[in-house]
Amino acid sequence: TLKMAFDRQGGVADLSATKSERFTCPESLDMVHRLRRDSDAILVGRSTVEVDDCTLTIRRVEPRKDGRNIQIQPARVILDPSRTLDLKDYKFAHDGLPALIYFRKEDEGSESTTTMERD
């Protein structure tokens, strides 16, 4: 499932602002979190993290729970081809949930992954 929000000019983000302003209504946000609850992963690119400082978690609806009654969050996958995100600057890197960051290894030209695990 792919979810994108478009502004009146057909854009997906206000790149003129220093911080992207939300242009999605509350009902749409609730729908997004229901979609997240039913998804195995949330995939974003480096620019989305830089502009939105997103957590990529389920917050507006009750998450699914496993057999031990522990909340299940979808895997967070970030595409950062040049590996330029400074992780200390973003919320997702400090909440104790795992994230996968895909990047390209310069010396080999192959793809690689960094995994952030729970503490």
Task: Kindly state the tokens that stand for 64.
Answer: 């699914």
Contact 55, 80 (CB under 8 A): no
pLDDT at 24: 73
Q: pLDDT tens-digit profile of 12-70?
A: 665 655 555 556 788 988 999 999 999 999 999 999 999 889 999 999 999 999 999 99
Helix (H) or strand (E) holding 111: strand 111-116
The residue with greater pLDDT, 84 or 22, is 84
Q: The dihedral of CA 3, 6, 11, 12: what is its sign? A: negative
The span from the first CA to the last CA of the chain, in angstroms, equals: 30
Question: pTM of the full predicted structure?
Answer: 0.77
Which residue intervals of the chain are DSSP H helices? 26-37, 46-52
Strands laid side by side in the 75-79 sheet: 41-45, 75-79, 99-104, 111-116
The DSSP output letter for 47 is: H
